[in-house]
Amino acid sequence: MGRAWMRGALAALGMWSAAAQAAESGTPDLTREAIENATFREPQDEAKADKASKPAKKSRKEADKKPDPLLVKVQVLLDRARFSPGAIDGRDGENLRGAIKAFAQAQGLSASDRLTREVFDRLQATSKDPVVTQYTITEEDVKGPFVERMPPKMQEQAEVGPMRYTNTREMLAERFHMQRDLLSALNPNIPLDKAGGTLVVAAVPPLGEGKVEGAPVAPKVTRIEVDKRTKRVRAFGEDGKLTADFPASIGSSEKPAPDGSAKVTAVAFDPWYTYNPKYRFEGVTAKKKFSIHPGPNNPVGLVWIDLSIPSYGIHGTPDPEKVGKTESHGCIRLTNWDARDLASHTQKGAKVEFLDK
């Protein structure tokens, strides 16, 4: 009865996972083929598959720890459609559910965070390209330079120099919008610190570097909504249509995000970060201003979108896997790739609205 109840609960959420299928009905483990061939199966189809298969030795709890090929596919398709699930990890969670709901609404479907047949079919229709691809590690990838040890305290980071990645694994995972554990799970026998290895990675636009030429590029963003309740940031074009939707960490009890509205005053790629003691961040004891070099591990990541409210902005982060799951120092924190995406389209003077109802 316990197993049947759990299956029913998962089915009700629309997320009966391919990982669970692998445990109970012998479907493939996490491989390139399993991801490409993954398809949504209705709850009644799952019940039939269960009856036709022998019980597996693995428990449901053990299976759910694994990335799900179906959810990897869904996350890649959402990412490419600019309804970001955050770091692609192949697991259910708030960021994925928020992206599914935003996509469904944009498609005129029921405003639900459930993965349904209709949502899955619409997602598949957005792109016929493979959802994963191969990438060969280059000499440039492995030689760095990297930051051997990243100090945990901000004032110590001011002495590091360029805030580069700490290793090839972190760099490649972020380049392809992936959680580091998923990159390793997809490529278990390939050393990530040696050139020549061919990896399976998410087929998404790789994270770029430096200023985006021609920015703001089409579709230009003239209005941004920061939704404190859903922890999502929505971008709207000149015609008023939604162009992108991203998960975000928005403020904290220490420094809440502002209310009302603001305007974008500037966009900076690869910004320096300057700490002012008047911020009084918890754990920062510096009495004088200090600055931290640019780089993906800079406290504001690879982008700073400056707002007309002093000291507030929309920016990237050195911890993309925590976006939407932890608080920020009052600002609006996106993954580096989402922040670059938003910044590359946003016009100076764009209106930013903070929503909390």
Residues belonging to the active site: 315, 331
Helix segments in 107-212, DSSP class H: 117-125, 139-143, 154-157, 168-175, 180-186
As a whole number of angstroms, the distance between CA 250 and CA 329 comes to: 8
DSSP character at residue 290: E
What 3 state SS string does 83-113 have? ECCCCECCCCCHHHHHHHHHHHHHCCCCCCC
Q: Would you state the structure tokens that stand for residue 322, as one six-digit string?
A: 């925590």
CB atoms within 10 A of CB 303: 28
Extended strands (E) in 176-334 = 198-202, 221-227, 232-237, 242-247, 249-250, 261-269, 273-275, 290-292, 303-307, 313-315, 332-333
Residue type, 301: G
Q: Which of 12, 74, 11 is nearest to 39 (CA)?
A: 74
Task: For residue 251, give the 3-state DSSP assignment.
Answer: coil
Q: Which two tokens stand for residue 5?
A: 């109840």
Cα–Cα nearest to 211, from 302, 103, 113, 122 = 302
Residue 230 is encoded by which pair of tokens? 């859903």
In the 8-state DSSP scheme, what is residue 212? P
| Contact present, 266 and 348 (Cβ < 8 Å) | yes
